Amino acid sequence: MDIFSPGSRLAVIGAGTIGASWAALFLAKGYEVCVFDPAPGSEALVRAAVEGAWPVLQRIANAPATPPWQRLTFAPTAAQAVAGAVFVQENGPENPALKAPLLAEIDAALPEGRIIASSTSGLTLDILRNGLARPDRILVGHPFNPPHLIPLVEVVGDEKTNPAAIERAMEFYRSIGKEPIRLTRSVTGHIANRLQAAVWREALYLVQEGVASARDVDAAMAYGPGLRWGIMGPTTTFHLGGGAGGIAAFVEKLGVAMQSWWDDLGDVTLTPELVKTLVEEMAQLPDIAALKAERDRRIVAMLEAAKE
Amino acid sequence: MDIFSPGSRLAVIGAGTIGASWAALFLAKGYEVCVFDPAPGSEALVRAAVEGAWPVLQRIANAPATPPWQRLTFAPTAAQAVAGAVFVQENGPENPALKAPLLAEIDAALPEGRIIASSTSGLTLDILRNGLARPDRILVGHPFNPPHLIPLVEVVGDEKTNPAAIERAMEFYRSIGKEPIRLTRSVTGHIANRLQAAVWREALYLVQEGVASARDVDAAMAYGPGLRWGIMGPTTTFHLGGGAGGIAAFVEKLGVAMQSWWDDLGDVTLTPELVKTLVEEMAQLPDIAALKAERDRRIVAMLEAAKE
């Protein structure tokens, strides 16, 4: 099942929320995990995150009853963490001035033929590989938060990336139960954040125009189109919407209406007034921790239903 | 539970896919349903649709073991169908030239104090009420297909609509397990179709730009943000994304990135070339009927998980 040998070591560099969640998943899947994070107290935070993630990992990733702590180690430097690693998942700060020396240190210490995947959501491949001795082995492996729960990983590699490294990263992510998606080049926001941005822009436009409250727009999504979007994306949804004729019939029937909706979509800015409205509406919701627990419970149920 | 008396009669005018699905739900919820549709063979089609919808209605709407056929009747004219009705759900053709005389006939035959809800997805309130003797009692009750399964109903009423009619329609839809959302005025595409249009525009833009295939963009949604969108809409999602600080903290942390994504979102036209690409990609998917059955099975699972 795993593409590396049993017990292969993976390095997790930078262990905030994202890095710690990756570490939990890698442990659940049987790997040795060596973590480096310079922040004081990070070791305790990682252990707590692994414990927090474990019940979900038992349900969706066949994790053993308790975390295999003996397979989790911490290194005092990035170089030491990656020295024996077959694959590096880097989750450092989204600041090129901090990321560049970190990646250079990783690249220098990592043996030939091993891959560096960056969890970056905002930096392009050109920025990531700038200054590396082996620039063709770094790629983006951008997870969707939290990585141990949400299957999506956006894998970005372009014509300067070693195709074998891209294929191997895709294969690795698939082997641990992820759903890696291949992007042919860096675009701002990858795919998922752009789709989120597109939908939120229109949602906020409707709020701004007074058509409905933010909570009602949210409900319209969650009780309507959102019910299908965790099952299939928009093109497949419309393919089914076309009946036996599929997407061609859909475009034939609704292409003109679609264009009229596109033409009428709005634009917004996060003005202080708009943010104030959102804050006031969200303040009426139940406690954030309770909402989060409920959301994650239902995501697990969805992932289980998908497997049936 | 029902806002009308037990056994009250509802009229379903126009019984294509949408009307027949409404009829099935109304029957499941204990109402008498009188259907009018001038198309030849419509009675048999409605009965087949009710039978098709019934297994789902048993799971999500407490429907009895078999459809109560004695409560389903068919009238030879719209006027006769609505004569004894407490509420009319109109699902006629989306053509004002055909809709106007139909609505006028309904309005003339429907007793005082009763409501006409139109399932229209494309016509504005001004068009719908034009020429009615009692224009303040018509509103939009736009379902999301199929109405017996998807909870969302977009209720549109404006300053010319009787507020009591709007409130009563909202209450009625809630009483039969729907999630009615209130729009203060007609906008093209209501809310749900606008959100769908926004997300599809960006999805197609990424395909057009060669960043990823349509199937991969779909997968990025379904395995990523889409998993949350059937549980909560975008503002609530980002409210949780802000941690303990909620939406204010989210905007503080990611407002600049969001603006950069908004600025970079693209635009598309459904050119023959783009449609051809989509058709070719969708042709690689399993059979449409199988995909639909799987989708509906998983939507039912989501609705059940939401109730737990």
pLDDT number for residue A1:
45
Strand A32-36, strand A72-74: pairing: parallel
**CA–CA separation, B277 and B268 (whole Å):** 14
pLDDT digits (tens, 9 = 90+) for A183-238: 999 999 999 999 999 999 999 999 999 999 999 999 999 999 999 999 999 999 99
pLDDT number for residue A2:
60
Chain B, residues 1-20, CB within 8 A of chain A, namely: none
Q: Are the beta carbons of A291 and A285 closer than 8 angstroms?
A: yes
pLDDT digits (tens, 9 = 90+) for B123-146: 999 999 999 999 999 999 999 989
Contact A288 B223 (CB under 8 A): no
Instruction: Name the band, by pLDDT with cuts 50, 70 and 90, for residue A307.
Output: confident
Q: Provide the shortest C-alpha distance from residue B208 to chain A (in Å).
A: 12
Instruction: Name the band, by pLDDT with cuts 50, 70 and 90, for residue B2.
Output: low
CA distances from A302 to A174, A195, B181, B297 (A): 19, 20, 24, 11
pLDDT digits (tens, 9 = 90+) for B255-280: 999 999 999 999 999 999 999 999 99
Residue A302 confidence (pLDDT) above 70: yes
Residue A39 confidence (pLDDT) above 90: yes
pLDDT number for residue B308:
80
Chain A residues with CB-CB distance to B284 below 8 A: none
Cβ of residue B93 closer than 8 Å to a chain A Cβ: no
Average pLDDT score over residue span A52-60: 96
Give the predicted TM-score (pTM) of the model. Answer: 0.95
Chain A residues with CB-CB distance to B119 below 8 A: none
Tokens 């891959």, located at residue: A115
Chain A residues with CB-CB distance to B238 below 8 A: 200
pLDDT digits (tens, 9 = 90+) for B61-101: 999 999 999 999 999 999 999 999 999 999 999 999 999 99
The minimal CB distance from A248 to the residues B198, B279, B302 is found for B279
Contact B203 A179 (CB under 8 A): no
The minimal CB distance from B235 to the residues A122, A182, A203 is found for A203
Chain A, residues 260-299, CB within 8 A of chain B, namely: 260-262, 264-265, 267-270, 275, 278-279, 281-283, 285, 288, 291-292, 294-295, 297-299
Say which residues have a Cβ less than 8 Å from residue B149's Cβ, sequence separation at least 6.
B21, B53, B56, B60, B296, B299, B300, B303
Q: Are the beta carbons of A91 and A64 closer than 8 angstroms?
A: no
The sign of the CA dihedral A217, A202, B306, A145 is negative
| Region at A246 (left for phi over 0; alpha for psi -120 to 50; beta for the rest) | left
Cβ of residue B197 closer than 8 Å to a chain A Cβ: yes
Chain B residues with CB-CB distance to A226 below 8 A: 226, 229-231, 233
Residue B1 confidence (pLDDT) above 60: no
Q: What is the ipTM metric for this complex?
A: 0.96
Chain B, residues 136-175, CB within 8 A of chain A, namely: 144-145, 150-152, 154
Mean of per-residue pLDDT scores for chain A: 96
The minimal CB distance from A197 to the residues B258, B294, B302 is found for B258
pLDDT number for residue B5:
84
Preceding omega of A146 cis (within 30 degrees of 0): yes
Residue A127 confidence (pLDDT) above 90: yes
DSSP state of B81: H
